[in-house]
Amino acid sequence: MPSASAEAERLRLELKRKQELFDTLMEASYDGLCLIAADGTFLEMNAAFERITGLKRQDWIGRTLEQMRTAPGITRNSAALQVLSGSYPATTLVNIRGGEMILVTASPHFNEQGELLNIILNVRNITQLNYLKYQLEQRRGQAKLSEMEELSSAYLRDKIRSAGLGEFVINSPLMAKVVSTVVQIADFDFTVLLEGETGVGKGVMAQLIHRLSRRAPQPFVEVNCAAIPENLVESELFGYEAGAFTGSLRTGKKGYFEAASGGTIFLDEVSELPRAVQAKLLKVLDNKLVTRLGSTTPQRLDVRVIAATNQNLRELVKQGLFRADLLYRLEFVPIFIPPLRERREDIKALAYLFLEQFNREFGMDKVLASETLARLGQADLGGNVRELKNLLARLVLACEEKEIQPRHLLAELERRAEPIAAAGPNTVREPSAAPDDSRPIKARMEDAERDILTRCVAECKSTYEIAARLGMNQSSVVRKLKKYGLRCANRR
């Protein structure tokens, strides 16, 4: 058996441990806590009690409830006094300094014989709690709003996926708003005017509207109004009868509007239409009738019209180059697609999307260094999404290393800037565009691919060496050399 002194030491240490635990609990509590003896003497109070009530520990430890009741500025309706007089728990609301309300709860503590040992006071600042509750509700509201935004984004992505247009980047709030508008109006046959700079994606947005509408199974006819010779615009749009003009087909020909019957016609660069054709287009939109060139019989139309422009049509109206009545008819639903510099949140996702696309298309496995991606996000991409896509294609093809470094990006950006500077200050051209930028991007990429492979054939001794230099599979190199009629002098 342990000695009496050892047992006493054990009990002393146990008592010390419990006292330390009690002190820790008292000071850690956010609620104010106060311990009062059965005779009403203040025994202990924590820092929170001092903070909430304004009473100071050094002033009240050892003093009594009766003394507190007679002190100036102290409530007479004491919960602790109610416990002393009735031995049951009591709760009161007390108005303290500055009009704040505190909730005071007094709980009696009895011994085994039922005698009152002490009273535990618990105080809470109701005013502060209400404010905390308000803040919590605000945060919950913000969280709910964030959750709603996430759900909205997921809904938009699902709608886009259902349209079969593949990946579609809508990371920025601006683009999310645009796509949300498109989703809302897609199934209504409103005339839509898409506005925005060259390369922002007006054509893709027009396809999205069509794919999301009830007209999706029917034709989507895209017309570049600027690419049609002025003397042929009317016959191309509205068709012509046999013998309508010299050189016309003997059978006549459907126009683009008739070809789009039941579906959607997309008039890109609508600002380039001649004034005379603008008048006829207005009549077609108003009456839903089209009359072929050389005919007097109008045909009923069932077609949705989407127009697009990179020009300020209102300014063209002021200059007399565009009809005001046609503008009002076209912009029943105007949708502005912001340039890439105003939605830089989309650049990273677009870059990864195009990188994956060109890696797959060219049989490569290139990656973007993180610093390259960061610089790309700050680059001046005047050609918007189209230029970004073109730029990624060039980087994938031209970079001889697996990882595309910032120096590769800077070199390509400098190369693109040279023709613009050489053209002179008075030359107007699309930023960062190649001289024959009107060709499809695939044709331009094939030219670039052919040039790079031609250089590699001259410098490398085998298809394996070319593959190592370009980061491609050797079989892909062989296939592409065959495609362009190229071969290594010492091919193996």
Percent of the chain with pLDDT over 70: 81
- Residues in Cβ contact with 298 at an 8 Å cutoff, skipping those fewer than 6 apart: 287, 289, 290, 291
What mean pLDDT is predicted for residues 365-393? Answer: 86
Q: Do 460 and 452 touch, CB atoms closer than 8 A?
A: no
Model pLDDT, residue 207: 92
Residue with the bigger pLDDT between 243 and 455: it is 455
Residue with the bigger pLDDT between 135 and 330: it is 330
Model pLDDT, residue 433: 40
User: Which band of pLDDT confidence, cut at 50, 70 and 90, is reported for residue 157?
Assistant: low
Residue type (1 letter), 479: R
Closest CA to 299 of 255, 245, 330: 255
Average per-residue pLDDT for the chain = 81
Model pLDDT, residue 174: 87
Q: Give the chain's domains with CATH numbers.
A: 15-130 (3.30.450.20), 163-338 (3.40.50.300), 343-438 (1.10.8.60), 439-492 (no CATH)
- Residues in Cβ contact with 376 at an 8 Å cutoff, skipping those fewer than 6 apart: 347, 348, 351, 368, 388, 409
Which secondary-structure segment (H or E) carries 117?
strand 116-125
Model pLDDT, residue 126: 77
Residue with the bigger pLDDT between 29 and 388: it is 388
Model pLDDT, residue 427: 40
pLDDT tens-digit series, residues 45-81: 998 888 888 888 888 898 888 887 766 545 555 788 8
User: Which band of pLDDT confidence, cut at 50, 70 and 90, is reported for residue 452?
Assistant: confident
CB atoms within 10 A of CB 476: 16
Model pLDDT, residue 430: 39
CA distance 159 to 31: 51
Backbone angles phi, psi at 438, to 5 degrees: -70, -15
Token look-up 């059965």 returns: 38
Model pLDDT, residue 59: 86
Model pLDDT, residue 134: 66
Model pLDDT, residue 9: 81
pLDDT at 357 over 70: yes
Burial call 86-118: b when 16+ CB within 10 Å, e when fewer? eeeebebebebeeeeebbbbbbbeeeeeeeeeb
What mean pLDDT is predicted for residues 468-482? Answer: 77
- How far, in Å, are 19, 229, 236, 373 from residue 273 at the CA level? 91, 10, 12, 40
CA distance 377 to 477: 32
| Full-model pTM | 0.57
User: Which band of pLDDT confidence, cut at 50, 70 and 90, is reported for residue 267?
Assistant: very high
Model pLDDT, residue 436: 43
CA distance 108 to 38: 9
What mean pLDDT is predicted for residues 104-127? Answer: 86
pLDDT at 302 over 70: yes
User: Which band of pLDDT confidence, cut at 50, 70 and 90, is reported for residue 304?
Assistant: very high
pLDDT tens-digit series, residues 184-210: 888 888 899 999 998 898 999 999 999
What mean pLDDT is predicted for residues 118-130? Answer: 81
Model pLDDT, residue 7: 80
What mean pLDDT is predicted for residues 357-378? Answer: 86
pLDDT tens-digit series, residues 397-442: 888 888 888 888 888 888 776 644 444 433 433 333 444 444 555 6
